[in-house]
Structure formats: structure tokens, C-alpha cells
């Protein structure tokens, strides 16, 4: 008898689950149905800043696979269909045909929730004014780009100095706007320690972004037409033709919670390593779940396409009789701000301290290539480590070309619980166009090892 | 009483040992004397192709630290001094003041051998003709560059298609010469498998280098003045205004062997993990030693500045009462050929097979950035793994900008004996300017994991 695998949500996680399952089971053996609220599948939300910045010219380029292509591959994709409830006892979902004309129920044998995240929208007066843009879905990016293309804005204010904030700063600087960035905390990139965040603040200044730190937004002022006119903090009023919100997202676990599926302390759906929820046969993947931070051991919700893809693959394997796991995350992230690069993995010094760990940190300033080789760019590498044993806990990098992806080596070191002393010996690739004779990662480890020896005495 | 640490050889390994020891012990506590045959210390031999190619303009730029700078830091550097013998019983070395006017003996309490490697020079007729250049020492690079600058050569032949060969091919193409490359084996880059080497052959063709494979050189023809005129193989005669030899190097263990210090099967000085030789108090580091290959477990001699620096540091720590180890190498190497990048780590498929391992290999073609992001460059990643358990054994990468240094992640995976299945889950940095949503390294691991599942059944 044909089984039925139903996926709720047709972006990275959901379509990875569906496509992986499809490759592993024949059509007459497993029917796969995906319900997606929007008209799109498998689009790269991470690419939206580059669409707005006109680095990417065509929104279609951000769509990895259209609904038609998925259908041709044997996946029954139903766009503009919203799942409004899950009936766990009767193993079926309630589906509303948008714009809401018809509701039907659809049966499933196995289910995957991949409904994504919701943007954080604090109740600041005027936050819903025209001209205030979020940048979560493909349509948001298209709308913001159209606003830049067609309304000739001169001044933009970005609210929030995280990844999206700095990527949008680059995008709007590229488009010739006067850009201000407002952040409630004392440094941009709150996922970095303040000393490394300060380098990002310098980079923002360097590319001409006026940055206002430790200034929560109090109001979005509207003009007579209801359009946003200014962003107001305790200390200033910043006139704005458009505003971009980069305030982060939260897992969307409403559907799961309503069905009685366990939701964790982060607000994300709880799963085991096989991405199965508290209900057998019901899986979840992507921005709607929480996962385990492999250094702190704590649950975290990290909305990132790469995790969504991996978790979706794990679901696709497990619903088709295979065995795959997603052990958790390290919190690795990289971002580009014009010529600058920012990266982090693991715990910051502050996070490690908050967990009660006896933590030490060291930083080195180095170059991305041999000093005599053209294009050798500055890079600062900060390592956070356990003071006693020297175990690496986290790393942060700010630099220029060639800096950010060096974080991957440190992520692999963290994954394997290496100490800074062990990392010094690592056999990394060396040639003058690629690295100094000591790669900056190794120099950082060497300095940490030296500091540890000095502490231990 | 003041101890005396004597170092033989003033390049990467020797000066790292000396400088590390100097930082750890006061001058009135430890005297440090370095004997160096040439007039230079701490120069970057790996930078010589870039000096010849005029990417680097000044030979001085390749000198990380001059003898004067080392002396100012409290290291008694004696250049133009050759150590000709070691008397282990009386703990002293015999030193000839070049050009050989005077021989003295100098006492030591601890000794570090860091005399480097000797270029391989097969007994091919004419190999010592004028116009045939090696490229090992700083003076070699200066001489070759002068020949290009001053004699207006039109045609160059490079003998040997390894790292130096391809780097010199780039250098001479940059200088406008017509370049041919002759390699005795059937593919360039014999440290890669032939399928990956073929990509390097394509790249050589792309940049205009005529490549002749499986053609050992029989003779270097001289003209009437004794200058090289042509390189002759079994199949052709290649006219040449200059010839560059890239035939590799062997550890120089003559001094050690003559003193009765153990020399291993590779011809390199044997040391333990602390870089101590078979004689207590006598250490060795750099191109003159052999070390352990961490995947095969076998002794290997790898002449590379990054190992020399690390081993020198280990000696410097251990001779001053510290505890440091150099566990061995993975055989990681990277090289650039104009816009192309080449990297390897661990064992090739062929090497693993020769060791009798049950080996499997998979390769993927991918891009270095998100497909829609400008500058997304091609990259092929080949993984070599144990067929049964999936343990990674090695990796090879050929691609364009952003390809090579990705090998570092795989080196860290190898170091930690990860399986391809484990690597799939690694939390590597993702943002469109830096990587597809699945980093090529992860895609390679995913494909390997899939192939393994298919094999296991």
C-alpha cells in the first residue's frame, strides 16, 4: 500500500525532506505532498540582501527549484495552501486553500513540520507604517527592491545591527542611499563579544553608515499619508524614506503547540537527533525547531538555511527507513559587509562566562596571506577557551578578504572538542597566496597556548 | 651557570627554535648561537616563485627577519659559517668560517639540527649547464629573476610538474615567456590522483603552458658557450633559453649520519614527538627530519615552511624546560596556478590502495559561493574514505578562487578521524558570498555518505 508523507512548508527544510525522501522511495511506494502558503518553493532568503543591493538582478535567481520542477520530480507541491491544524489522532491535517475559499482535510502517515520562523515585531508605535520593511520572505525582498528602484528613496534607517542589519546596510549603501543603523545594544553584532563588535562598528563607519548604538527605537513617525517619515530614539530623530527591520526571528511553533506537540524553552518545536518530535511519525525541521548547542549543551533556535537543509535531509532519510541524525549546532555564522568579513562559532567570552565556565580569551591581529603577497588583508582572530584545560569554546573573526571562512576550521576543532594546544599542531594548507606560514588560526591557537602555559605557571 | 644552545641552520626551523627559546629564557641563563651557511636568515623560500614572477618586487621582502634583527633580540647569529662535524662525546661542533679560511670548535649543551634539504639532481647529462636553475635558496631566486630581467629569455622549460613546477609556470607566464613543462609521470601534481591531476593539466593548458607528460628528460643540450639550449626527451627536443628544475628535495641528513645520529628510511633525521633525535639533548627540525604521517602511520619527509616553523617552536619550548610535541603531518598542501587553486590532504586513492586499505572515493563538482552570487567559481572536491567504516582518509580539491583553503576543514576532520557521515553534520559558516547553502565540503561528504549507504546496502 502506498504511504503518504505530508510536508508543511515548502522552503529549505520542507523541500529537502521531500526531495530526499523522493530520491529514496519510488512514487508507487510513497506519495509525497507539500503544502506551502506562498507561491514559491526552495528560495534563498539569505540572498535577499543581494537582490535588494542589485548584486543579484533577478528574484528568480534566488529560487533554487520551482514548484513545477519539484512536481516534475514526483513531489505533489500545493502552493497557496496553508495548513491550519493537525489532527494527530486521525493522522490528518486541515488545509485552507488561500485566499481562504475552501478548507479540506488531508491524511498523512508521516508528517514533517517545516513552517519556518516569524519575524520579531516589538510593539513600537508606527512599526506597521508603509515604508517599514521586513526582509524574511521572497516577496519582502521583491517589495523592498521595488521601493528602492521606483520611489527614489534618499535616506534609509536600519533597525538592528545583526547579520541582516549589516547585510542590508551594505545593500542600501550599494544602491546609493544615505544609511543609518540603530541598535539597542552597545555594539553591533550582538552575537560577537563587544571588543569584536567594535571592529564591525568601525567597518560600518568606514563604508559610510551612521551607526547609533545603545539607542532603542521609541517610535516610527508617519507622514500625512501614513508612510514612515522618521525613526525616533531617546536621543535623536532620524528622517527616513524607508526603514528596514533586522530584529531577528522566532520559531513558528503555533501549529505544533495547538496540536499538543512539545515546544521547548526557546519557543521552537522539540525534536530528537533524528528530527522526530514528541509525537512518533511527526518530524520537524528548519527555522521552526530548536536544536542543541554542542558547546553549551543547551537548546537553541538558530534560523539558518544550512541547518534547515541538513535537518530536512535527515527527515527525508528517516521517514524512508534510513538512519540519519542532526547532532546540533555550534552557532557558526559568517557575514560580509562590503570589503569586511565577520565570523563566529561556539560561545563568546560573555556567553561562556554566563554559563559559569572558567573562561579565558586571547586575540591576534594577523594577515590573510603571506605579508609580502599582494592582497594580504588584515584579520583578527579571537579564541575563547577553558582556562584550566585549554579546551576551545568559541572563536570570532573580523577581517577583510579571506578572513571569514577560516572560522570553519575552528568549527571543526570545536566539534571535536580540541584544546588550543592541539590546534597549534594542525596541518593546514600553506602557500604564500593563501596564508602566512602560520595560518592566522594557528597563530591564534599558539598565542592562546602560550597564555595558558603562562597562567598554569 | 649559563647553558649554551647551538642551532645549525638559520632558516625557518632553526630560527623558530632559537627565537622561541630566547623568549622563554633570559640571556644570562641561556646563550643561543646559530650557525648559518648563507648570508641570510629566516627567508621565505616558498615566496621565490613570486619574486621571479614579479608579484613580489624586492628579495628583501622575503626575509622575515635579518641576522641583525635576530642579534638585536639576543640571538648570536653567525652567518657564512658552516658546521662540518658534530662531536657528540665532547658536546661540540666543528665550524668552518666560509669561504673556508678557519675552522674552530664550538661547545654546546643542547643542539638543534635544522640544515634543511638538498634538491634532487638526477645524473642527466647537461643538468649543470648554465641557464639551468634550481629554486631552493634565496640566492637561486635572485639569480633566476636576474636572468629573466637581464637576458631577455623567450622560451623556458620547467622540468617537474609538482608544486614548484606549477608555481614557476605561473611566474614565467606572468613574465611573458613561452613556457613548456615536462613531467616524467603521466599527470602533473603526482601528489594528487590522476583524475584530479588531469584538471591541473587542463589549467596549465588554459594559461598557455605546453605540457608534456610521461616524458622523462634524457639530456639538457648546451650551446657553444656551455649554456643550456634545449631539453630533450624521448619524444621531442624543446628549445630553451632557460630551464627551471622542480624535481623535489631530500632531507639533508649527512651531518647527522656522520655523527651517528639515527636517520630513517626516508633519509630524514629521526626524532620523537618532542623533536629530539636518537641522541639526548640533540634535536632536529625542518626539512632535514622525517616525521609521521598521521593517516598512514608511516614516516615521511615533507619539506614545508609551516612544518619547519612548528617543529622549531617545539624544539625551542623543549630545550627550555617546556613540554611541546609535533604529532606529525597529514600531507596537507595548497598551490595556486594563476586563477586556479589546488589542494590535498591525507592519502590519495592510489596511496590508500597501495597501503592495502579497502578504499572508496567520490567526487563532486560544485561552486565556491551561492550559485546566484557573483564570482561563484567552480570547485571539485574528491574524498577518499574507508569503504567499510566511512572514515575519511584524504581529500583533494581543484578549483578557482576560494577553493583551496577549504582543504583545511578536511584536514581538521582527518586529524580527528571523522567519518564522512559525521562530516555531513558539521556546522560550517554559510552566507551567499562565501558558500552555497551546503558548503562544497559538506556536499562532498553527503555524496560520500550516500555512496557508502548504497554500498553497505
Q: Facing residues of B335 across strands?
A: B342
Q: Using 50, 70 and 90 to split pLDDT, how confident is the model at B98?
A: confident
- How far the first Cα of chain A sits from its last, in Å, is 70
Residue B35 has a CB neighbour count (10 Å cut-off) of 24
Average pLDDT, chain A: 96
Residues of B in contact with A399 (CB under 8 A): none
Among B76, B67, B345, B211, smallest CA distance to A426 is for: B345
**A446/B313 Cβ within 8 A:** yes
Burial code (b: 16+ CB inside 10 Å, e: under 16) for B166-191 equals: bbbbbbbbbbebbbbbbbbbebbbbb
And the C-alpha cell for B324? 611541546
Give the mutation candidate from B47, B315, B371, B412 for the A interface (greatest A CB count, under 10 A).
B412
Mean pLDDT of A174-179: 98
Query: Phi and psi of B173, rounded to 5°?
Result: -60, -45
Q: Using 50, 70 and 90 to split pLDDT, how confident is the model at A457?
A: low
**A332/B427 Cβ within 8 A:** yes
**A372/B62 Cβ within 8 A:** yes
pLDDT tens sequence across A402-438: 999 999 999 999 999 999 999 999 999 999 999 999 9
Q: Do residues A217 and A359 touch, judged by C-beta distance below 8 A?
A: no
And the C-alpha cell for B131? 641557464
- How far the first Cα of chain B sits from its last, in Å, is 70
Residue A245 pLDDT:
97
Instruction: Give the closest-approach CA distance of B329 to chain A in angstroms.
Output: 6
Q: Identify the closest residue of chain A to B375 by CA–CA distance.
A: A55
**B396 interfaces chain A, CB cutoff of 8 Å:** no
Instruction: Give the closest-approach CA distance of B114 to chain A in angstroms.
Output: 17
Q: Using 50, 70 and 90 to split pLDDT, how confident is the model at B457?
A: low
Output the CA torsion B343→B344→B348→B349 (10° steps): -60
pLDDT tens sequence across B36-91: 999 999 988 899 999 999 999 999 999 999 999 999 999 999 999 999 999 999 99
Residues of A in contact with B424 (CB under 8 A): 310
Residue B297 pLDDT:
97
Distance, CA of A408 to CA of A333 (rounded, Å): 9
Q: Strand, helix or coil at A331?
A: coil
Q: Please, how many CA atoms are within 13 Å of residue B367, restricted to the half-sphere of its CB? A: 15
Instruction: Give the closest-approach CA distance of A55 to chain B in angstroms.
Output: 7
Closest residue to B335, CB basis, from A44, A341, A431: A431
Mean pLDDT of B98-118: 94
**A411/B416 Cβ within 8 A:** no
Q: Does the pLDDT value for residue B100 go beyond 90?
A: no
Enumerate residues 6+ apart whose C-beta is below 8 A from B13. Answer: B112, B114, B116, B285, B286, B287, B288, B308, B309, B311, B312, B315
Measured between alpha carbons, how far is residue A49 from residues A16, B28, B169 in Å? 23, 61, 40
Q: Does the pLDDT value for residue A456 go beyond 80?
A: no
Within 86-125 of A, beta carbons closer than 8 Å to B belong to none
**A248 interfaces chain B, CB cutoff of 8 Å:** no
**A407/B412 Cβ within 8 A:** no
Residue A454 pLDDT:
87
Q: Using 50, 70 and 90 to split pLDDT, how confident is the model at B99?
A: confident
Average pLDDT, chain B: 96
Burial code (b: 16+ CB inside 10 Å, e: under 16) for B311-322 equals: bbbbbbbbbbee
Length of chain A: 457
Instruction: Give the closest-approach CA distance of B129 to chain A in angstroms.
Output: 30
**B406/A370 Cβ within 8 A:** no
Q: Identify the closest residue of chain A to B421 by CA–CA distance.
A: A324
Q: Strand, helix or coil at A33?
A: strand
Q: What is this model's ipTM?
A: 0.97
Residue A61 has a CB neighbour count (10 Å cut-off) of 17
Within 45-84 of A, beta carbons closer than 8 Å to B belong to 46-47, 50, 55-56, 61-62
Q: Does the pLDDT value for residue B1 go beyond 90?
A: no
Q: Please, how many CA atoms are within 13 Å of residue B424, restricted to the half-sphere of its CB? A: 23
And the C-alpha cell for B440? 562544497
DSSP type of residue B227: B
pLDDT tens sequence across A108-128: 999 999 999 999 999 999 999
Output the CA torsion A326→A330→A334→A340 (10° steps): -170
pLDDT tens sequence across B343-384: 999 999 999 999 999 999 999 999 999 999 999 999 999 999
pLDDT tens sequence across A387-402: 999 999 999 999 999 9
DSSP type of residue B63: B
Q: Using 50, 70 and 90 to split pLDDT, how confident is the model at A98?
A: confident
Mean pLDDT of A126-132: 97
Give the mutation candidate from B19, B57, B427 for the A interface (greatest A CB count, under 10 A).
B427
Measured between alpha carbons, how far is residue B157 from residues B144, B201, B211, B230, B248 in Å? 13, 16, 10, 8, 16
The per-residue DSSP string of A156-218 comes to: EEEE--SHHHHHHHHHHHHTT-EEEEE-SSSSS-TTS-HHHHHHHHHHHHHTT-EEE-S--EE
DSSP type of residue A391: B
B327 vs B43, higher pLDDT: B327
Q: Identify the closest residue of chain B to A454 by CA–CA distance.
A: B24
Residue A240 pLDDT:
98
DSSP type of residue B15: H
**B330 interfaces chain A, CB cutoff of 8 Å:** yes
Mark residue B162 as left, alpha or beta (left: phi above 0; alpha: psi -120 to 50; beta: remaining): beta
Measured between alpha carbons, how far is residue A72 from residues A34, A65, A338, B104, B181 in Å? 14, 11, 39, 84, 49
Amino acid at each position: 500500500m502506498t504511504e503518504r508523507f505530508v510536508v508543511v512548508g515548502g522552503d529549505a527544510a520542507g523541500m529537502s525532506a521531500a526531495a530526499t525522501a523522493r530520491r529514496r522511495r519510488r512514487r508507487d511506494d510513497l506519495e509525497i505532498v507539500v503544502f506551502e502558503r506562498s507561491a514559491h518553493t526552495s528560495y534563498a532568503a539569505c540572498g535577499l540582501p543581494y537582490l535588494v543591493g542589485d548584486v543579484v538582478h533577478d528574484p528568480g535567481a534566488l529560487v533554487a527549484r520551482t514548484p513545477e520542477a519539484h512536481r516534475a520530480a514526483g513531489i505533489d507541491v500545493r502552493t497557496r495552501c496553508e495548513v491550519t491544524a493537525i489532527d494527530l489522532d486521525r493522522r490528518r491535517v486541515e488545509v485552507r486553500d488561500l485566499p481562504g475559499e475552501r478548507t479540506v482535510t488531508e491524511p498523512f502517515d508521516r508528517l514533517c513540520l517545516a513552517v519556518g520562523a516569524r519575524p520579531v515585531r516589538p510593539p513600537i508605535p508606527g512599526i506597521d507604517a508603509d515604508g517599514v520593511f521586513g526582509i524574511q520572505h521572497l516577496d519582502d525582498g521583491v517589495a523592498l527592491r521595488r521601493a528602492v528602484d521606483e520611489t527614489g528613496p534618499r535616506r534609509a534607517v536600519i533597525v538592528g545591527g545583526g547579520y541582516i542589519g549589516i547585510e542590508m546596510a551594505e545593500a542600501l549603501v550599494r544602491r546609493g542611499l544615505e544609511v543609518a543603523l540603530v541598535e539597542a545594544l552597545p555594539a553591533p553584532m550582538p552575537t560577537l563579544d563587544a571588543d569584536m563588535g567594535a571592529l564591525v562598528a568601525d567597518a560600518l563607519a568606514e563604508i559610510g553608515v551612521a551607526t547609533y548604538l545603545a539607542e532603542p527605537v521609541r517610535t516610527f513617525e508617519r507622514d500625512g499619508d501614513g508612510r514612515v517619515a522618521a525613526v525616533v530614539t531617546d536621543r535623536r530623530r532620524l528622517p527616513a524614506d524607508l526603514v528596514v527591520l533586522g530584529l531577528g526571528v522566532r520559531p513558528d511553533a503555533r501549529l505544533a503547540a495547538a496540536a499538543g506537540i512539545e515546544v521547548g524553552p526557546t519557543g521552537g518545536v522539540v525534536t530528537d537527533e533524528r528530527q522526530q518530535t514528541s509525537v512518533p511519525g511527526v518530524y520537524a525541521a528548519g527555522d521552526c525547531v530548536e536544536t542543541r548547542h554542542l558547546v553549551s549543551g543547551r537548546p537553541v533556535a538558530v534560523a539558518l538555511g544550512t541547518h534547515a537543509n541538513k535537518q530536512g535531509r535527515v527527515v527525508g532519510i528517516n521517514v524512508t527507513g534510513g538512519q540519519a541524525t542532526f547532532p546540533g549546532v555550534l552557532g557558526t555564522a559568517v557575514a560580509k559587509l562590503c570589503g569586511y568579513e565577520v565570523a563566529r562559532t561556539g560561545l563568546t567570552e560573555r556567553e561562556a562566562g554566563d554559563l559559569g565556565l572558567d573562561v579565558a580569551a586571547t586575540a591576534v591581529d594577523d594577515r590573510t596571506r603571506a605579508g609580502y603577497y599582494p592582497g594580504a588583508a588584515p584579520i583578527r582572530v579571537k579564541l575563547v577557551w577553558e582556562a584550566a584545560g585549554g579546551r576551545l569554546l568559541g572563536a570570532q573573526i573580523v577581517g577583510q578578504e579571506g578572513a571569514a571562512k577560516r572560522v570553519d576550521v575552528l568549527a571543526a576543532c570545536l566539534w571535536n572538542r580540541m584544546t588550543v594546544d592541539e590546534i597549534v599542531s594542525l596541518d593546514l594548507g600553506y602557500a604564500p597566496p593563501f596564508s602566512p606560514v602560520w595560518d592566522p588560526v594557528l597563530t591564534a591557537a599558539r598565542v592562546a597556548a602560550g597564555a595558558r602555559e603562562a597562567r598554569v605557571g
